[in-house]
Each structure stands twice: as C-alpha cells, then as structure tokens.
Structure 1
C-alpha cells in the first residue's frame, strides 16, 4: 500500500538544496544569455568594420543576438531527446556547461581590428551555442524540479525556477548598470564590456560543478526500472499522439512571451520614445519590475499548490491585463508614477509560473522533457520573434497598442487554461513514482 506521505510531505532539506542549485544555475544561464543585449553598442563597434553605417552595424549586432533565439528549438529538442532517454540530470548539467564556455570565450574573443571578419563569425557561433543551451535549460529545469519535489509542491518548485530564470535578467541589468557607473563609455568599449562575459562564464562553470551533487529524479528512475526508457524517438511520440498538449502549451507560452518581451523587455525603450523619459529613469523602473516579478513568480507558485491552475491562472490573467493597462495609461497621465506602476506590472507578470506548471502536467513521464521543450522553444522562437515587430507596427496606428497586444494574448492564454481544465489531461499524481500513485483514478 502506498504511503500518503509521498504526496503530502513537506519539502525536505534535500528538496531545498535541489531547488536552490537548480534556480542558481538557471539564473546564471539567463544572465549569460541576455548580457549580450546590454552591451550591444560596444560589441557592434568592436566586431564590425569601423566604416560601416551605424544603422547596418546595429542591425547586424541585433541579428547576432537574435541568432541565439533561432538556435533554441533545435538545441532544446536535441537535449530533451537525450534527457528522456538517458536521464534529466546529465542534460541538466550539460546545459550549464554549454552556456558557460561560449560566454567565457565571448569575453576573450579578439575583435574585428585584430582578426577581421573571423571576429563576428566566431561571435555568431558562440551565440548559437548559447541559444542551444538555453533551449534545454528552462524546460529541463522545470521538469527536473517538478519530478523531485512532492506532487503537492510542484507549484512552488516551478515558481522558484521561474524566479531564478527572471532573476538572471535582473542580474544582467544590475551588472550593466554597475559597469556603466564604474567606467567611462571609452573604458567600456576598450575593455570593461568583457568583464560581464568573463564573470558569467566563470560562475557558470561553478554552477555546473555544483550541479554534480544533484541526483536523478525519482520519477525518471521509477520509469526506467518499471518499463525502461522510450523505444522510439520521444519527439515522434509527442507529435503523433500528444498534439493537444502541445497546442495548449504553445498558447500558454505565447502568453508568457507577451508578458516578458513586451512588459519587461520592450517597455523601457517604448516609454523613452513615447514620453521622452530618460534611459536612467526607465532602467530604474525596469529593475524594480524585474525584482517584483522574481518574487511574485514564487508567490504564484505557492498559490498554484493551494488553489489550482484554473483559479490562479484566470485571476492572474485579469491582474496582468489590468496592471499592463494601468502601466501604459497611468504613466502617460503621470510619468512620476512610473516606478510604482512598473513594479506592480512586474508583480502581475509573476503569474507566468502557471505556464510551466501546466506543461509539466500535460505530458507523460516518458516524453515529458521533449514535450515541454518542443512546445516551449518552438512557441518562443515564433512568438518571441514576431512580438517586437508586431508591436512596433501596431504602435504606428495606436500608441497604446503594446497594452492592447498583451491584453489580447493574455485572453488567449486564459482560454487555453480553460481548454486544459476541460479536458483534464493530467493530475499532480502523475509526477509521483508508481508506488506512490493512487490505486484508481
């Protein structure tokens, strides 16, 4: 007879260590991935010809940044394939290594003045390796912690991981602010831009070493002992028989990208243009928003464990829509309220924890890593890529188009939550080892 404690026990010290190490590694990986964008101006000057027009240099620099997103789906699918076949831990550890080494190398690369066209080519290769790594990190981290903790604590686990990932954005913003305060623009271009990359690479290697102490997930071990690993390619199984789960997961990821890309990443630049706000003012407000997002991602995770997906997701969606409109209309009316309104909007974005929570329940153990990774990375590549363009085009017709876009996409996400609840794909018990599951469902 199964012990009920397997499902209802509190988090142990081992669980806490697992969550801490996983969240730390996730934060460092996201820091490594996004630090590029904070120093794009210096990188553009150093890795392209000096006589290149500014608009073309900027375009090619951001094309290098975007290359990381294009590599995400392929890298995620490949790592998820091996994660479903050979175990979560190996791939989970390898993803940190695959991120840390290119980041360290980027900080040491010679510039265009030294090696010519080979400089941007090498930078492109490193950026694509980073993209492949991040494609496996977020899905792998969510699956890893969800399969480690008690079933009734999956929400807090996903929340801590999501907070760790967004915390990486906060670390990048703080590092960029610190470097630009400590060094002059000339010094940043001369050498200081390398410091964040070298630092990120070194700490990434440290995180990889610490992850060596993590254990394989009990759920994967039970599956391997009970029936062995999948006999066919996991992606084939996902595409053939789990299309509804993929569709729901992709729609929810669209909601996640709208919240992160528009509210967190695009809004500072939009407000500088719309309201003439100084970059320092919008950056300070953005740091506050990213901080409240990181905290509230954990809070929403705890609420998911207590109240369930549908109630928390719908309430969180309404809050996110209201906070986004409040940010855009409120800042327009009184720019001095930007900090408070942005912090509130960041807190509302914390509801995105519902996305990994639904995804890890949507796929069976044998294909869970692949299902989550395929859905998340494909949707992020598509919607993360078109969102800035779509919002920019819509803004030409309506100055509040960014808020309208977020509101519309969140409604789509809320509909997907209703669809998921109606079909009742999985319950939290699916994350338990076989002997801890109820005898009948």
Structure 2
C-alpha cells in the first residue's frame, strides 16, 4: 500500500468507518462526555477559585506593611500570570497530543491543575516564610496556567473525535457548558465560605478549604479519566502512519493560517463576551448602578446557569442547522438582550425586571457553544490539537488580559462601554461566521 509523504500526510482528513459516523450516541459516548465535562468543570473551578479570594490571599501572602492597593495589584498580577502562560503550556501539550495521543495529555492536564491547587491550600503565609510565600504562589499559578492551556483545546478535540460526526456540536457544546459550570461552582463555593465563616476564621484557615477540595476532586477526576479510551481518529492516524513527522505547529502556521485567523477571531469573541457579561458584571453593576452586592451575585449565578444551558442548546442546534447559523442568530440575540439589560439598569428597574433580561443575556452568551465545532473543523486531524491550542490560547492571553483594562478605562467615559464592546464583538462573530466558507476538515 502506498504511504503518502509526511508533508502530504499532514493534510489528509482521516475517514472514520461508516458505523462510527452514523451511529447514535451510546453509553460509552455519554460516559466520555460526562467524564470530560466533569474534569473540565473541576479544572476551571481550580483555575478561577483564586480570583474569589484575592483579598484574603493579598493579606496573607504579601508584606502587611504594603498598602492595600499594592497587595491587591500584586495578587491580581499573580492571577494574570496564569493567563499569560497559557499559550506556552497549551502549545507544548498540544504538540505531544498530536504526536503521542489525545488521552495522555487529556489526563495530564487535570493532574497538572489539581496538584498545584492542592498545594496552594497548604502553602504557609508570608508571616511564616517571608517572600518565599508569594514566589511559591506564583509557581503554582504558572503550573495552573499551563494546565488550563492544554485542557480546553484538548477536551474539545477529545470529545469531537470520540462521538459520531453528526453529534460533534452537541459534544463540544456540552463540554463548554461544563467549563462554564466550573465558574459557577467557584462563585457558589466562595459565597458559601463567606457566609459560613467569619473574616478572622477565613484568614486563619477557611480560605484553604476550597483549594484543598478542588485539588482532591481534581485528582479523583484524573483517575476517572484513566478509564477513557484513545480517540478513534488518533488510532486511525497511528494505523495509517499519518502522525505528524515534523513540528505540528510549524505546519499549522505554514499551511493553515486561515484556520488560525478564524479560530483567533472566534476566541476573541468567546473570551471577551464571557469576561464582560459574566466575570465583570457584578462589580460593574455595583459600581455604575449602585446595586446591592447580594442582588448582583444572585443575578450573576442565574445568568451563569442560563449560559451553561445555552452552550448545550447551541451545540445541539449546530448539528442540525450548522454552527454558522447558530452563531449568527446567537450574536443577534446577545446584542439585543444585553442592550435591553443595560437599559433596564440605567432606568433603575426592579430586581425582577433586570434579572429576566440578564438571564436572557446569559442564555444568549451560550452561542459560544457553536464555536468549538467551527474550530474543530478548521484543522485536519493530524495537527488539530496544535492548531486549536495555538489559536485559542494566544488569542485568550491577548484579549482575556486586555478586555478588563479596556472596559475599565472606557467605563470612565461612558457607563455604556460594556454594551458598546459586546455589540461590537457580536458584529465580529457574525462577520467571522459569514466569512467561514469553503472546505472544512470533518472526519467523514
């Protein structure tokens, strides 16, 4: 049998057997989705729980003689390191995922996240070991950033290559919903800790509990992932000797720049929309509209639940209607619902009124559930992990880091800055969907 040269083998879309393409979802598929979504939720929880305890961490891990604003700045700086290191960790893990297998990296990413999370919960504070405390904390965040850089793209690739082609959108949407559920879990745990313990108890020991729990459950998730099997697509690549023979990233940048451009644009929309509408909104609502913190946190939790549901719905609809249509309709709905939400806040609407529009906004943000399917199809199997990982992590590091700064600066000029930015991102998402034409790399 003729074996294609290595440079041609990279561009081959490995076909799956007909039974693999057309069969319905079975028990093994649902188990794979459940374990992948559970691990992703716990990993995202481990990554974001840090931000809910920045005040406590700043107090414990930096010199008490430092001004409060400086301690907070240093703490947020350590948190941001996790974002900036994502491209490095993601590219390295994706390289080995394309060469050695998806499952190995999929399991490693959970371990690389859960162990540092567990260790953060055990770190001695500044009062005991001095400047070694923030340095150790920084090292743990570097490992966490590397882990999350490999987890998200690796999880999308893993589930996309496991399920039948006609259910890939549902699988990726479900997984994305699991990731957003990790943010909700972190928020609920932080709220529970602050309600159950006094400030002194939290400073003394209670702040450690969410980190210790996250680490333990993360390690348990790693052992559960050991029961998963390698993807059929990668096994087919191995059988046909189509594993990348050169650096996968080099092939991505040389021959698949259109896929990179599309994926980075979609990641910009994905990351910035979540940051503005979910992560930043409680603080913006309190600052710009003087709403009670309790009301904003309740609204944010409900909107995040709607977001999780929206991701699954968007993924399922993408299988039936195509991701371009779902993304376009979702972007229009998001622009309308978020504008409506802000108009109600500006008019001083009661809790029940703006809570409904905020929930609708959260559901509309679920349009991001269609994005992973477009990114999976943008690259051939042999370099898929590297293509998605590079595009996603570089774009997330840039726009994830710049978006809060841009919103904070623009908000000093107009309180509608978040609306303007989100509507602009919706236009970007629609443009990307409309421009996404031509051949896609489906496993068929």
Taking structure 1 as reference, are residues 61 and 376 closer, same or farther at Cα in structure 2, changes over 3 Å only?
same
The Cα of 1:4 is off from its aligned counterpart by 4.2
How big is each residue's C-alpha offset from its partner over 1:283-313, in whole Å with a ceiling of 9 and x where there is no partner?
1111001111111110111100110022111
Report whether the alignment pairs 1:319 with 2:319: no
Provide TM-score, normalisation by structure 1.
Answer: 0.95
How big is each residue's C-alpha offset from its partner over 1:360-416, in whole Å with a ceiling of 9 and x where there is no partner?
000001100000000000000001111111111111222101011011012112111
Partner Cα separation in structure 2 for residue 360 and residue 60 of structure 1: 37
Partner Cα separation in structure 2 for residue 2 and residue 235 of structure 1: 24
Partner Cα separation in structure 2 for residue 343 and residue 228 of structure 1: 46
Long gaps (5+) in structure 2: 1-14
Partner Cα separation in structure 1 for residue 131 and residue 17 of structure 2: 63
The Cα of 1:335 is off from its aligned counterpart by 4.2
Taking structure 1 as reference, are residues 258 and 335 closer, same or farther at Cα in structure 2, changes over 3 Å only?
farther
Taking structure 1 as reference, are residues 151 and 74 closer, same or farther at Cα in structure 2, changes over 3 Å only?
same
Aligned positions, number: 428
The Cα of 1:339 is off from its aligned counterpart by 1.9
Alignment match of 2:70 (pick from 36, 39, 56): 56
Q: What does residue 303 of structure 2 align with?
A: 289
Partner Cα separation in structure 2 for residue 20 and residue 179 of structure 1: 27
Alignment match of 1:194 (pick from 187, 208, 224): 208
Q: What does residue 434 of structure 1 align with?
A: none
Partner Cα separation in structure 2 for residue 329 and residue 253 of structure 1: 27
SS at match of 2:406: helix
Report whether the alignment pairs 1:339 with 2:355: yes
Long gaps (5+) in structure 1: 432-436
Alignment match of 2:425 (pick from 387, 399, 409): 409
Q: What does residue 185 of structure 1 align with?
A: 199
* 8 Å Cα contact 2:161/2:231 also seen in 1: yes
Q: What does residue 261 of structure 1 align with?
A: 275
* 8 Å Cα contact 2:95/2:247 also seen in 1: yes
What RMSD over aligned residues (CA atoms) do the two structures have, in Å? 1.2
Partner Cα separation in structure 1 for residue 35 and residue 325 of structure 2: 30
How big is each residue's C-alpha offset from its partner over 1:217-258, in whole Å with a ceiling of 9 and x where there is no partner?
000110111123111000100011111100000001111012
The Cα of 1:6 is off from its aligned counterpart by 2.7
The Cα of 1:323 is off from its aligned counterpart by 1.4
* 8 Å Cα contact 2:328/2:429 also seen in 1: no
Taking structure 1 as reference, are residues 178 and 259 closer, same or farther at Cα in structure 2, changes over 3 Å only?
same
Partner Cα separation in structure 2 for residue 332 and residue 130 of structure 1: 39
Alignment match of 1:232 (pick from 232, 238, 246): 246
Report whether the alignment pairs 1:398 with 2:423: no
* 8 Å Cα contact 1:331/1:341 also seen in 2: no
4+ aligned runs moved over 3 Å, structure 1: 1-5
Partner Cα separation in structure 2 for residue 330 and residue 278 of structure 1: 16
Alignment of 1:30-429 (within 5 A): 30-333=44-347, 334-336=349-351, 337-420=353-436, 422=437, 424-426=438-440
SS at match of 1:108: coil
Provide TM-score, normalisation by structure 2.
Answer: 0.95
How big is each residue's C-alpha offset from its partner over 1:32-68, in whole Å with a ceiling of 9 and x where there is no partner?
0000000110000000011110111110010010010
